[in-house]
Amino acid sequence: MTENRHEWALSVSDLTTFVSGAVLVVDGEGRLRRADEEATALFGLESGRSGRPSMPTFYDADGDRLPPEKRPTDRAVETGTPVENVECVVETADGRRRVVVDAAPLAGGGTETRRGAVLTVDPVTGTDQDGTDGPHTSAHHVDPPPEPETVLERATDAFVALDDESRFTYVNEAAERLLETAESELLGTRVREAIPGTEDAEIQDRIEAVRRTGEPQRVELHDEVLDRRLAARIYPDDDGLRVYFRDVTERENRKRELEQYERIVETIDDGVYVMDEEGRFVMVNDAYTELTGYDEAELLGEPGTKVVSEETAERARRLHDELAGGESARLEATVETASGEEIQAEATFTLLETDDGTNKRIGVVRDVSERKARERELATRSRQQAAVADLGRRAVQPEGLDAFLDRATRVVADVLDTDYCKVLDLDAGAEELLLRNGVGWDPGAVGEATVSATENLSQAAYTLGQREPVVIENLAADDRIDGPDLLTDHDVVSGVSVIIGSVEDPWGILGTHDTDRRSFAEHDVEFVRSVATLIASVIENHERRRRIEESRERYRTLVDNFPNGAVTLVDDDLRYSLVGGTILSDLPMTADALEGEAVRDVLSDALAEELVPEYEATLEGERRSCVTENDGVVRKIHTVPVRDEAGAVTAAMAISQDVTERRKREQRLREQREQLDVLAEINVLVQDLSEAVVEQSHVTDVQSTIRAHLERSRFYAASWIGEVGPDRATIEPVAGSDAATLPLDPPLSIESDAASPTALAARRGDTQVVSNLDDRADGEDAAWAGPLADRGFESMAAIPLNFEDTLYGVLTVYTDRDAIPDRERRSLDRLGTIVAHAIRSVTREEQLRRSEERYRTLAENIPGGSVAMVDTDCTVQAIAGGLVDDLDLDPPAFRGRRPTDVETLSDESGRRLEDALEAALRGERRSIDMRNETGAFELRTLPVRKEDDEIVGAMALVRDVTDRVERTEALQYERERLEFLIRLVRHNLLNSLNLVDARLAMVEGSVEADVVEHLETAKNRTTEMIDLVETIRGLTRVMAGDEPDDLEAIPVDELLADQVESAAITFPDAEFETDSLPTTEVMTDGLLEEAVENVIHNAVQHNDESTPRVSVTASADEDAVTVSIADNGPGIPDHLVESVFERGAKGFENPGTGFGLHIVREVVESYGGSVAVDDNDPEGAIVRLTLPRAT
């Protein structure tokens, strides 16, 4: 509830029954506005000179008039807060009395609102009328109080006296009744032990406050045992305290009921008012003021005619008089608001009888404007629907088109209450609309007046271009159209128009108009549209009936002139009722004579046996068709049932035509159609197959797709795909081909198998078609045609898979059809080209994909290197490789830039790289060495070309050769040191050995005979030492990787024979074998002999047999000589085959193997040869040395 809830709720006399005590209502100026009956009797209120009762005067305990700031009314109005339990003295009708006053503001308080206050005044019983405890002598004098037993016994309230310890010293009869305890039981008892609620600490504090301050206190006690509330007033006394009690349970209950009532009234959305018997407002809630637009002050005290008419007020008074207690009445009326707006409202009211016997009218008002509008709309819709339904029934069996249109225009004008309605008939040729039907128009206008169908300024012409109805509320103000004379001459202001028919094919316009400006509701527009739809349906039915009549006339003419046949009607008795057209040649009489004759009497027995069952079935409702043949003439007869309006069959109609020639034509056409169908399906197959193969990504997928499609085809019984052989001289079946199931003998020679269609197709490059294989099977082609004919094949085609002069294979298909026409052959030609193109494409794609994968893998995994690709403008497109990561390069920093623009490259490196790439884009290959602070690099650039040799970019290959350069430099340094050492040793050693050899030569021949042998041995060892120095020099060259020099050719047989002979001397317990050795020469500088000797010695030294056997053989071909040295030793395990060539490898249990097989390999490889080790089955090992022949 709003802030003024106390104002309206407590200002109504019938609500004061909820409040205990006298009730006064004052305005913001402190003037008395209302008083209930108890207040009127208490204060003896009378009207003053102003016509209003005067406000009672309040005094303090000393008899002085209370100043404004202490008066309860002023305090409540000024502060806006309630004032409670104010004890004062007031002038009553019987004199001054002590009272307790409560005051509550009627608004929010403050000087701006000052709405007033409501006061409740409770006289303090047990006091004299002057407000004291005894009779008074003057307004300002209070006599001493009389004895308690004389005064307190007169009190109507419950009264007790307490001593200083709060013990009962006196209890009157009212207190005994209230406390339900005798005085004798209470005397001497403490108050907190006898009166429930006084034991509360707060109550005890209040009691002590009275003792301490001498100021009276008002408290409220709750007796939870008896569920009641007691109001107590505590006063100080010379002997203690005196306490007055009143049972206020009923008052509190009424107060709560009032508050609940107030909440209910204010929370409902409907307006609530209360009127007295004179029909004046005494209370309104906020919802009612919002409904009417008046403030509460504008309504209170005013008659009901302020918001309703006198007639409505009189009806309400009559209902008031007729109502009995507890009954209610309902009244609908128009409420006029403060703004003059009229609202449809519904009021439900009842009577409330007050304590004074008067009846108040309590009403609840609800705005029902929207509901009334919906009811009116519903009524209008119902009327429109009924009108449409009635027109719909009449549309089924109309009295004529114009009569129906006249009725429709009358109905529309009547239902919508418009001045005019019209139907405009469109004449598309004349580009105008004729006012064909209508109501309200000037005489002579209907049937004569026209409007343009093309000028957009016409409403009708504008409507023809709109799918939705056109609504005009003000013709003069509507900028879409400029009203035609037909409308402006009739003062038309508003209207609705809609197309009859569709926008694409309109018949005309239905429109309705009014001379007043008005709005048309959506249901009004839909009503006009519905009528237009009905009109369109009637027009369509009218046109259909007209066409049926015309069709009937044409049908009669057709029957009479039916070409190349006859039309007859047969009734239920199987008699002719109508005969027309060309009479059947085997009928014996004329058409007129046939009518009425029985079918069996007219037709031959054979023909009757065929036709009578057809007629009988048709008379049962079936449609039948049959073909008869007589004397070479073929007739087709159709029989159909003829029904009446109810659907019952009344006759059978037979239509007979001579179809002899047509049958012949149909046969020829059927054969042609079958051929075309086959060709069409073959074309679809070829098309599907063509689309499928181009989607494949592998050659095998292309071949599988062809095979799968042909296997599903119903036109080809078998097929196989042949590919060109490696030598391009044969045709071989592809993997998975069906050739194995066919009588073929692949591979087919393209040149020698000249008679084979598959070979011919491959050799000539065009499709080879063979028909009538049976005929070819008996002639010179019997070798290949016979087996195919035996399989049931009638024809075949071999299609070369040829594209751009490259043959990729041959597709051969077989069919059980007699021939393969030229159109089919052309389709197969196209298929062969598409398949060849697909094979070439996927082959190239596979090659490119493999190349791309290899290049990508190579680029991404080049150890210590990288690859970069540039476009024709020398901008980097890609860069990858291990060197990118090693140097912590950022590939995005390179992409799209020229090398000289890349910040991470030095100016010199960027320039040299860009120069080399520019040269590659011109077709040159370059290789340059680059060195910077990070290391040494080898750069190679080369052009990237397309198949047609066009340069489309360049590639840069960069390798980190830092380690190699450093290693080469270190090796070069070591080589130089080694060569220096070897030269030193060789020079000094050779000088010494040569000196020894010379001295030995000097003494040769001059020594004793027994010393000659020793001298010879010394000379041989000296020679061996000289040879060893030369061998060391050669090995140094091999180990350093230098090219051999001073080579000379030596026959293999001599070289091997010398080494075997030497080994036989060295190892006398071993057996050596040599076969016939070739005389082929190889190049050597002396080290090869050492390598062969080392292998032979190893074969003996690592042999665990008692008699080692070594076999030395050699063989030669055009390019090389292979020396094989085999033994019968333990052999070399498979897992050690490779390791024996490693540096420092040892053989089995021996501490070393000469200077090692790895030295043998290096020596042989320095001559361009190779070394391999194999098992010597069944035992031992074979070492093979392969050397190039001397040139």
DSSP output for 462-480: HHHT-SSPEEES-GGG-TT
Mean local confidence (pLDDT), 459-467:
84
**Which residue's entry shows tokens 């293999």?**
1052
Confidence of residue 82 (pLDDT cuts 50, 70, 90): confident
The model's pLDDT over 164-181, given as tens digits with 9 standing for 90+, comes to: 888 999 998 888 888 888
| Among the ranges given (40-44, 90-94, 557-561, 866-870), the one the predictor scored with the smallest mean pLDDT | 557-561
Residue 894 · residue 878 · CB < 8 Å: no
Instruction: Report d(CA 875, CA 1010) in Å as an integer.
Output: 90
Mean local confidence (pLDDT), 746-763:
78
Residue ranges matching CATH 3.30.450.20 in the chain:
1-141, 147-263, 268-367, 569-658, 862-960
The model's pLDDT over 578-622, given as tens digits with 9 standing for 90+, comes to: 777 665 555 556 666 777 888 888 888 888 888 889 889 988 989
CATH code linked to domain 374-548: 3.30.450.40
Confidence of residue 737 (pLDDT cuts 50, 70, 90): low
Token couple for 519: 């709005």
Residue 647's identity, in one-letter code, is G
997 Cβ partners below 8 Å, 6+ apart? 1019, 1022, 1023, 1026
Mean local confidence (pLDDT), 408-419:
91
pLDDT score of 284 more than 60: yes
| Amino acid 442: pLDDT | 92
Give the residue, 647 or 874, on which the prediction is more confident: 874
CATH code linked to domain 1043-1188: 3.30.565.10
Instruction: Report d(CA 158, CA 178) in Å as an integer.
Output: 7
pLDDT score of 752 more than 90: no
The model's pLDDT over 522-544, given as tens digits with 9 standing for 90+, comes to: 888 998 999 988 888 888 888 87
| Among the ranges given (7-11, 138-142, 381-385, 729-733), the one the predictor scored with the smallest mean pLDDT | 138-142
Mean local confidence (pLDDT), 621-639:
83
Question: Is residue 330 classed exposed, middle or buried when 0-12, 13-18 and 19+ CB atoms within 10 A define those classes?
Answer: exposed
Residue ranges matching CATH 3.30.450.40 in the chain:
374-548, 681-846
* DSSP alpha helix (H) spans, 1052-1086: 1052-1066
Instruction: Report d(CA 1002, CA 1041) in Å as an integer.
Output: 41
**Which residue's entry shows tokens 């006394």?**
237
Residue 1164 · residue 1055 · CB < 8 Å: no
Confidence of residue 3 (pLDDT cuts 50, 70, 90): very low
Give the residue, 441 or 970, on which the prediction is more confident: 441
H helices, E strands: number in the chain: 34, 47
94 Cβ partners below 8 Å, 6+ apart? 129
CATH 3.30.450.20 for domain 569-658, yes or no, is yes
Q: What are phi and psi of 615, to 5 degrees?
A: -60, -45
pLDDT score of 1124 more than 90: yes
pLDDT > 70: what percent of the chain?
79
**Which residue's entry shows tokens 């909820």?**
18
pLDDT score of 839 more than 60: yes
Instruction: Report d(CA 425, CA 439) in Å as an integer.
Output: 15
CATH code linked to domain 1-141: 3.30.450.20
772 Cβ partners below 8 Å, 6+ apart? 794, 795, 818, 819
| Amino acid 852: pLDDT | 57
Which CATH fold topology does 147-263 show? Beta-Lactamase (3.30.450)
Mean local confidence (pLDDT), 972-994:
64
Per the DSSP assignment, residues forming a β-bridge with 895 are 876
Q: In what order do the strands lie in the sheet with 450-452?
A: 450-452, 432-439, 420-427, 506-514, 494-501, 470-472
798 Cβ partners below 8 Å, 6+ apart? 757, 758, 760, 761, 762, 767, 768, 810, 811, 812
Q: What is the mean pLDDT of the chain?
A: 78
Distances (CA, A) of 815 to 712, 734, 791, 828: 13, 21, 10, 13
Identify which of 589, 616, 617 has the alpha carbon closest to the alpha carbon of residue 603: 589
| Amino acid 476: pLDDT | 82
| Amino acid 1086: pLDDT | 75
Per the DSSP assignment, residues forming a β-bridge with 640 are 653
Residue 1073's identity, in one-letter code, is E
| Amino acid 870: pLDDT | 86
What's the farthest any 2 CA atoms get from each other in the chain? 196
pLDDT score of 1148 more than 50: no
Give the residue, 1157 or 797, on which the prediction is more confident: 797
State the CB neighbour count (10 A cutoff) for residue 215.
11
CATH architecture group of domain 268-367: 2-Layer Sandwich (3.30)
| Amino acid 215: pLDDT | 87
pLDDT score of 133 more than 60: no
Instruction: Report d(CA 407, CA 462) in Å as an integer.
Output: 26
| Amino acid 512: pLDDT | 93
Mean local confidence (pLDDT), 641-669:
79
Instruction: Report d(CA 1064, CA 1049) in Å as an integer.
Output: 25
892 Cβ partners below 8 Å, 6+ apart? none
CATH code linked to domain 681-846: 3.30.450.40
Token couple for 324: 């009995």
Instruction: Report d(CA 954, CA 951) in Å as an integer.
Output: 8
**Which residue's entry shows tokens 């029985």?**
598
pLDDT score of 343 more than 80: yes
DSSP state of 734: P
CATH architecture group of domain 862-960: 2-Layer Sandwich (3.30)
Residue 885's identity, in one-letter code, is D
Per the DSSP assignment, residues forming a β-bridge with 217 are 234
| Amino acid 557: pLDDT | 64
| Amino acid 481: pLDDT | 80
| Amino acid 12: pLDDT | 36
What DSSP line would sit under 100-133, residue for residue? EEEEEESSS-STTT---EEEEEEE-TTS-TTSSS
| Amino acid 761: pLDDT | 86
pLDDT score of 456 more than 80: no
| Amino acid 267: pLDDT | 52
Confidence of residue 131 (pLDDT cuts 50, 70, 90): very low
pLDDT score of 49 more than 50: no
Mean local confidence (pLDDT), 788-806:
87
Distances (CA, A) of 157 to 40, 207, 349, 594: 22, 19, 42, 131
- What long-range pairs does 383-392 form, CB within 8 A, spacing at least 24? 383/415, 384/415, 384/523, 384/524, 384/527, 384/530, 387/411, 387/415, 387/527, 387/531, 388/527, 388/530, 388/531, 388/534, 391/531, 391/534, 392/534
| Amino acid 1146: pLDDT | 47
Instruction: Report d(CA 792, CA 773) in Å as an integer.
Output: 9
Token couple for 343: 């609202």
| Amino acid 262: pLDDT | 57
pLDDT score of 188 more than 70: yes
Indicate yes or no: pTM above 0.85.
Answer: no
pLDDT score of 132 more than 50: no
Instruction: Go through 1140-1176 and write b for each residue having 16 or more CB atoms within 10 A of its CB, e for each that does not.
Output: bbeeeeebeeeeebbebbbbbbbbbebbebebebeeb
State the CB neighbour count (10 A cutoff) for residue 33.
17
Question: Is residue 70 classed exposed, middle or buried when 0-12, 13-18 and 19+ CB atoms within 10 A define those classes?
Answer: middle
